A = this chain, B = another copy of it.
Amino acid sequence: MDDKPLSKDPNQQFSVPYYEIPYEKFFQFGMSVDSVVFGYHDGQLKVLLIKRGAAPFKGELALPGDLVYPNETIEVAAHRILKDLTGIDEHFIRQTKVYSQVDRHPVARVITTGVYSVIDIAKHDPHASAWAEGVYWVPVDEVPHLAFDHDCIFRDALEILRDRVRKEPVGFELLPSKFVLAELQGLYEAVLNVKFDKANFRKRILSGKFLRDLNEFQEGVPHRPARLYSFDANKYEELTSSGFSIQV
């Protein structure tokens, strides 16, 4: 009995001085990570949802997530989960918030950390795994009700992404390494749900000098092909270290 996770019984309240709470009760938390994985496709910002393969909420839609292993950090756990789902080792990943409502998990006391991740859909082919019966890319404005408190975790992540994408080079993670300015503009428009003037968008982005002009061109388009660019991470580092920040 003593080994079981903390009971969720509402009668089991600890309205007593801390020294009357058995010491080991302070060390019975479960820790999990829930990932909000963003991708961009067909001019739409999408998020990766799974159909849960295990209780609780088996069969329901949720964010991919799992308990943190005893020897893992949260970041390691998040990478493991994404690797299981997409096969890719390297992901851009950032924390959002911690969710610690006492009753947020129906079975045990589990505190979860939200993270978001931003990937190029074309490079990844998500597939079902031990804990996910199905995996789906869902446009962010069509996300249905999710298991646990994942509605909230998703909303918060989207809001934080929208804030961050304006000043950090997050957007480039969503695109192939070679892209065209119109794609970049479409991406920002999809993420932020706004429209930009083409000429002004170009001027702003190009004035930053962190895009490398590859002197290559689009192929197979039925009109004048556009120049290909890539994000120059070194140049960007150089710029940020002297106070520069992307402004979109």
Spell out A's residues near B (CB within 8 Å): 2-6, 12-15, 18, 21, 24-31, 67-75, 95, 97-98, 100-102, 108-109, 111, 113
Contact = CB atoms under 8 A, between A and B. Distances in A.
Contacts of A25: 70
Contacts of A30: 26-27, 29
Contacts of A113: 98, 100
Contact of A73 (B27, B71, B102): B102
15 contacts: A6-B27, A14-B69, A14-B70, A21-B70, A25-B70, A27-B28, A27-B29, A27-B30, A27-B108, A29-B29, A72-B100, A73-B102, A98-B113, A100-B113, A111-B111
B100 A75 contact: yes
A82 to B, nearest CB: 16
Nearest to A130: B18
A69 B13 CA distance: 10
Contacts of A75: 100
Given A2-B3, A3-B2, A70 B100 contact: no
Nearest to A110: B27
A68 B109 CA distance: 12
A85 to B, nearest CB: 15
A102 to B, nearest CB: 6
Nearest to A96: B95
Given A2-B3, A31-B100, A74 B24 contact: no
A108 B29 CA distance: 13
Contact of A26 (B15, B67, B111): B67
Contact of A70 (B28, B68, B97, B98): B28
A12 B71 CA distance: 8
A6 B70 contact: yes
A22 to B, nearest CB: 9
Contact of A68 (B68, B74, B100): B100
Nearest to A131: B18
A178 to B, nearest CB: 32
